[in-house]
Amino acid sequence: MNEKPNLLYLKEISGGDVEFEKKLLEIVKKELPEEINTYKNCLIENNFIEAAELVHKIKHKISIFGLEKGYQVALDYENNLKLNNLKIKLEFEEILNSMISFLKMV
């Protein structure tokens, strides 16, 4: 995946409100690792429906970081999970890893 997380969309929706950007980033920094952890636990327990619900939540964070292709991967993966299909799991988890790495830098 060549797509890299960025703050362009966040800056666009904030209208230049730096405080809003900081608050949203803090929320994502807190929630994303928790959601990823819960998602992974759901997979271990073969609870694909709950895993799909977590992917749905995470999908919106993916869009905040301007990952259009990543959003589509998450959407496809969410639908796959509902069918007990893990076909693009690794691709989705690469996106998660890139987001976690990016959050450590911002």
List the structure tokens of 99: 């987001």
Residue 106: how many other CB atoms lie within 10 Å: 14
What b/e string do you get for 59-76 counting C-beta neighbours within 10 Å, with b at 16 or more? bebbebbbbeebbebbeb
In this prediction, residue 1 carries a pLDDT of 54
Give the Å distances, CA to CA, from 65 to 4, 7, 86.
Answer: 8, 6, 24
Give the Å distances, CA to CA, from 7 to 3, 88, 106.
Answer: 13, 25, 9
pTM of the predicted model as reported, rounded to 2 decimal places: 0.93
Each residue's pLDDT tens digit, 3-17: 999 999 999 999 999
Domain coordinates of the chain in residue numbers?
8-105
List the structure tokens of 9: 């969309």
What value does the mean pLDDT take over residues 84-95? 97
In this prediction, residue 2 carries a pLDDT of 75
